[in-house]
Amino acid sequence: GAVVSQHPSRVICKSGTSVKIECRSLDFQATTMFWYRQFPKKSLMLMATSNEGSKATYEQGVEKDKFLINHASLTLSTLTVTSAHPEDSSFYICSANPTSGRFHEQFFGPGTRLTVL
Binding site for another protein (CB under 8 A): 4, 6, 32, 34, 41-46, 49, 93, 95, 97, 103-111, 113
Which of 14/54 has CB closer to another protein? 54
Quote the least distance from Cβ 82 to another protein, whole Å: 24
* Nearest-angstrom CA–CA distance, 105 and 29: 13
Report the C-alpha gap between 29 and 40 in whole angstroms: 31
* Shortest Cβ 29–another protein spacing (Å): 13
Let me know how long the chain is: 117
Nearer to another protein, 67 or 107 (CB): 107
